[in-house]
Structure 1
Amino acid sequence: MSEKDNLPSADGNEELKGEAITTDHTGTENQNTIKNDTSSTEEPESSNPVEEQPVSDASQETVENAETPIESETAIPKTSYEAPVQKKDAHVDEIEESNAEDAEDEGNVERHSLEEKDYHAMTMEQLVDEFEGLLKSKKVQTIKSHIEEIKTEFNSKFSEILEEKKEEFISEGGSEIDFFYSSPLKKRFNALYKDYKNSLTAYYKTLETNLKSNLENRLRIIEDIKGLINVEENINTTYKHFKDLQEEWRIAGPIPRDKYNNAWNTYHHHVEIFYDFLHLNRDLRDMDFKHNLDQKLKIIDRAEELAQDDNSNRAFRELQVLHKMWKEDLGPVDKEHREAIWERFSNATKTIHDKRQAYYVDVDKAHEANLEKKEAIIAKIEAIAQDDLSSHQAWQNKIKVIEDLRKEFFNAGKVPIKVNEATWAKFKSAVRTFNKKKNSFYKGLKKDQYTNLQKKLELIQTAEDHKDSDDFDTVTPLMKKIQNEWKAIGHVPRKDSDKIWKRFKAACNHYFDKLNAERNAANKGQVEAFDKKTKMLDELKDLQLSGTPEADLEMIKQKTEEWNALGPVPQNKRFIEGKFNKTLDGLFNDLKLDKSEVEMIKFENKLEHLSQPDDTRLLDNEHHFIRKKIDEVRGEINQLENNLQFFSNIDKTNPLVKDVLNNIENHKENLAVWEEKFKKLKELY
């Protein structure tokens, strides 16, 4: 394998005075004859310009897209001899092509060190944040591929939302021609992208000028090196001048990428000619050869270390730098070492190249696995899209499931490039099918909501028509009825919900506030009655009986009449009636009277408080309670009488029989009291 940096590409064929120079496969010059007279070497004809390399499609973009080839008015002369056709190795070609790409802008090497991220898995918010971070912290010329990938992912996700919003707009009766949708996030992205394009345009406008200037400077250096063999001066002085020109070349800066390889080959060719010229002073040449050998051996050692690195991408990036140093910073070595060191360097390069290829094979396998995951997710979405759902809650549950599947899809990783667009299209189609069915359901639901809206508007009209009415007996039940109907109607469109509720609530509150004010005025006397009853209750607690049952009973009846004469109390104060009854119970217990008589006196007093002109609920409850007690007592009596039938001879002297008979008699007395209470209660109805 030939030593690449010693093999200039043959772009033309010019003659030198004296014997021609040929090159063997090692890159060592085979000088048959060359005259010692430095004037015997003729400069190549500058009128024979180099043919430009073909420009790729990518390089024909505008300066705005950072790929415009930069033309130079100064042509690079062809090399002055024709090298034999040489075999190209893929692993070396890959390095040279990458270095040629970086040659136009030395700072562009930074793009290799940027972290590779899975933009596909990011949300739109994360993509915009990532865009902003790159724009603020990185050189604009180094982030092109990252920004374009971010742009692709952002636009894909936004287009999905756009389609969904458009379908919703049309489903609600909108016209497609009137549809427009944007968002603060989209506006933020557009602003960032505009800043990026402006910065990139400004950068490449400046770079174009610098590239032309650097190319002219490098061509001047080549001309100066060519002129060294015609200078009549001390060889040491000439050699020093040569080393100064080499240093100038090293720091001369980037040039157009399409001029890179030919410029370097032309430079290297004339450096070789100068080294041939140095055969008159072998010490200087050998010193250079030794220096170059030492440096190249160090490069080889580092390359062989990199060949053991498991991170093939990192190793490849550093290998690019090593090849650039080998090619641009160092000259040739002695013939006896050229083949051997190049073989070592080439072998290390091939090892790194092969490991990198294997890495990409593994990446491809991972992408295939990701494809299987995404196809499974798409299948789940398609299955869900076939479900027929009939309730809002069911749709909300499925919407959450679909959203989780969308996140899972984006987090599944990249798929092979060849199926990326098809997979994305299939995913969007599945989601779109689901969204169409969802929108169709909610379109019908919205129709029901508009019907509900009309019903509630009618209730509002009823409430507003009666809110100022004084006919409380008629309107109060009506207002309660429409309140219950409102609750049963169901949802209305969200945009109308708060507005109509406030109207309905205001009308109802207005009426019931008026009703309460009326009742409060009527309740003024009830409040006074409560105060008087409270005072009377305190007096009853200190009441002392005379010990004569008839007189004490008459006194209790009188107190009861006085209490009832005070009138009803507010509803929330009726607890005082319970306190009064409890006090009476204590007084009756001290009397030596028939229990039934006492019970009826207490019940009659109770009925006074159950009778409310505007509320029969208390009487209804008491009616239900007494009927239940009568049924229970009758049941007990029947049960006891049935138990007596188990005795063969009913002997009333039998203690057990006697106990049952007494129990039956007590229940009958109790039943008589409950029936009398029921009779009194019916009289009130």
Structure 2
Amino acid sequence: MHLQQNDLAFTKFIEEGGNKDDFKPATDPLEERFHQALKKFFKKRTEYQEKQEKQKTENLHGKNDLLQQLKDLIQNEDNMNKAFDRFHELQAKWRAIGPVPAANVRDLQMTYKFLIDKFYDYIKINRELQDLDQRRNFETKLSICEQADELLMEPSLNVALRKLHMLQDKWRETGPVPRDKKNEIWDRFKATCDKLFDKRKEQIAQSDEKRVANLAEKTKLCEAVEAIKTDDNWKHKEWQEATLAIGELQAAWKKIGPADKKFNDEIWNRFKGTCDAFYKAKNDFYHKRKQEFAANLQQKTELCIQAEALQNSTDWKATTAELIRLQQEWKKGGSVGDKHSEKIWKRFRTACDAFFKNKSDHFSVLDKEHDENLVKKIALIEEIEGYQLNEDYATSFEELKAFQRRWSEMGMVPLNKKEEIMNRFKKAIDGHFDKLKVSSNDRQKVRYQQKLDHIRHADSGGKMDSERKSLLHKITELKNEVQVWENNIGFFAKSKNAEKLKSEFEEKIKHAKEEISKLKGKLDMVKDAE
């Protein structure tokens, strides 16, 4: 991917009139991050090693101090039991202290062993105590063997070997075991150690085999790259597809580990040479596309001018649709080249963003108003729910209408709460109307008046005019239908079937006239509302 990006940068450099010999490829950010991370790792590792060496030096001083205490014990302690307890206390402290510098391990261990042996000789410990100590040592070494056996199941060989080294140190620090168990316990521990060391040898052998396999895989990638043959008739699509294929092969190359050193440079030069030839041919193609960029730039500049002309518009719906159309046109336009791409896009986006920010600010104010209206309407509903009907029908009816007028005068609520809050309002107000036994016609009038009040408070007049025209249109249609039905009745012959059909038409005419009367009543309400 980095090679591809450098090739694109080289194309841009040549297109802008640069000399190919002056081109300096950009550093791979991922590679730079990798080296920075590696530096931090080595620094931390050095600090860790220095810390370990310091600790080892401190451990050396600690163990030397224990050796001196052991000497003093051998020379000065006459109480056998007390000496033996002190001896085990010093052994425990010796085991608790960590590793020492490698240069001191052998001498320190030999001195320690010498003093241990001297202790047993000096105090001439009785056989029972000696046997007890050896049995304890045997149990300790048996535990070491069991821990070593568990390492055979450790997934990470490096972790297993590191832990084994610690167990070996512990083994050496543990005293002698009963003579009849000495070979048995040692053979068991050694056998486990040998198995882990054999695994290490096998891992090294597998690593050599892996390098051979890596060479084979890289050879296949070379053949795959060489199989991509460029053509003079290729268009942008073919070049992009081929570039993608080359990029995938390059990515696959990076995932493969190193080959054997004597073949590594050779196979790399073969792969890189083929990729370089491809990108040179690609650069020649894109050099010819420069004129297309100029035409695309002109087209997108015109789109910018149109967008800038709309950025201060307050016709939110129409302007939104138009800007979306311009954005779609923008997407259809071709590339203008890296030199102008960001600048022209920023100009276009700035104009679009200015409009949509104004739109967002506008509707954010409305959203706040809607939230406030929601609180007011909830309070009104609670007031309605707690309302007690008056004994006088007319008074109660007018009070319920007043509730509806107050509801209509309150503005809109958030869209996601509209249905919920309306259903709750209708349930509360209809419950009172049901108790009053208000007629269906009166309820319809009240609800229609509520609708008109809402239109009057929410609109500047356009919706009210549309409502009036809609009513006039319905009245005209019904009148025309009534006229046709009345004319048709006169043509019915006097027969049983004709009388039945005539009765049906008379019923239709009756309902239509009733509906016309209701619509005229609504029309009068509209006129009063205007």
Task: Compute the TM-score of the two structures, normalised by the length of structure 1.
Answer: 0.38
The structure having more radius of gyration, on CA atoms, is 1
Normalising by the residue count of structure 2, what TM-score does the alignment of the two structures yield? 0.47
Larger relative contact order, structure 1 or 2 (CA cutoff 8 Å, min sep 6): 1
